[in-house]
Amino acid sequence: MAQTREISLDIDGRPVTVSIRRETRERSLHTERDLVELHGTVTAVDDATHEWLSECLPDLGDRVLSGRDSAGEWSGRWLISWNSYSVNAGTHTYSLIVREAEDLSLEVLLLDGLELYPYEYREEVVGDGLTLWAKLVGTEDDVLRLRRLVSDRSVFPVVRRGISDTPREMRVGVAEWSHFEDRVKYRMALVDAHLHNSVAGEIVEMEEENNRSALAFYANFVEQLTGLLIEKGLLGEEEVAELRETARAEPGVARHEFWRVPDVDVL
C-alpha cells in the first residue's frame, strides 16, 4: 500500500483515478488497526466530468467505495472526504482525503461472558474512547436481570466479537425498553470506563427525559383512573385524599418503569 501512486475508486460503476501525494496511518479506536489515509487529487479537463464530480463527491457521505491500484488489483474499501477545489487553465482539480474503511459488523457482544445479539448496533468515538449503543429483543425478565447485574458492578470486560477480540473495560447501562409482541425491545449503552465522567451528562440527560415522560404518563393515568372510580362510586373523596397523603409519604414508581418508551426503534 505504501508504494501506491494512484488508486482508482469505483463511484456508481464509474472509475475515478486519485493521484496520491501523501500517505499517513492512524490507529483505529474501533479495531486497534493502523488505517491508511491517502491525500490526493482528482483532475477533470472536460466540463461534463467536472459537473459530475461536483455533484457526486459532496453526496458520498459515509458510502464505502471499492478501490484498485495502478496494476488493477483490488486495494480495499475506502471512504472519501472532499477537501478543496481549484481550476487552472481549464483543468479542474479536487483535493481529496481517502481513508481506509473498517468493517464494524458485530457478531456477538460478550458482557463478562454473557452473550448478547443486538439487532441494531453502532459505535461512536468519544475523545480517546468508545461509546456503544445496542438494541436487543428479549423478555422483561431479561431486562430486569441485566439491570440487577449492572447495578452490582461498576465496570465489565466487554468483547465485540467480529470487530475486536480485545476486552474493553466498560461501564454498562440498560436504558429504554418497549413492548414488542409478546416480548420487549431494549437499548443498552456501554461506555469506556475512563470516559465515564465525560459522557455522564448525556446519559443523565437521557434518564431525566425518560423520568419526565414516565411521570407525566403515570400522573395523567392516576388522575383519569381516580376520576373514573369516583364517578362510579367505587372510591370516595376522603379515600382519595388519604391515598394522596400515602403517595407523598412513600413515593416510588419502579425505576424500571421510568425507562419504558412507546418504541425503542424510534430512538
pLDDT per residue over 106-140, tens digit each? 999 999 889 999 999 999 988 889 999 999 999 99
**Sequence ranges of the chain with CATH classification 3.30.980:** 6-100
CA distance 75 to 172: 38
Mean pLDDT check: name the lowest of 52-66, 151-165, 202-216, 221-235: 202-216
pLDDT per residue over 197-209, tens digit each? 545 455 555 555 5
Residue with cell 468493517: 103
Distance, CA of 135 to chain centre: 10
Q: Can you give the pLDDT at residue 2?
A: 47
> Which one-letter amino acid corresponds to residue 223?
E
Better pLDDT: 169 or 232: 169
**Architecture of the domain whose range is 6-100:** 2-Layer Sandwich (3.30)
Closest alpha carbon to 101 in 63, 51, 61, 47:
63
Residues 173 and 195 sit within 8 Å (Cβ to Cβ): no
Q: Can you give the pLDDT at residue 219?
A: 65
pLDDT per residue over 24-57, tens digit each? 999 999 999 999 999 999 999 999 999 999 999 9
**Sequence ranges of the chain with CATH classification 2.40.30.200:** 108-200
Expressed in percent and rounded to 5, the helix, strand and coil fractions of the chain are: 30, 45, 25
CA distance 11 to 8: 9
pLDDT bracket for residue 80 (50, 70, 90): very high
User: Average pLDDT for residues 88-107, to the nearest whole number?
Assistant: 94
Closest alpha carbon to 5 in 18, 264, 60:
18
Predicted structure pTM score:
0.70
Better pLDDT: 122 or 150: 122
CATH code that applies to domain 108-200: 2.40.30.200
Burial class (CB in 10 A: 0-12, 13-18, 19+), 260: buried
Better pLDDT: 191 or 212: 191
User: Average pLDDT for residues 59-79, to the nearest whole number?
Assistant: 91
pLDDT bracket for residue 223 (50, 70, 90): confident
CA distance 75 to 9: 9
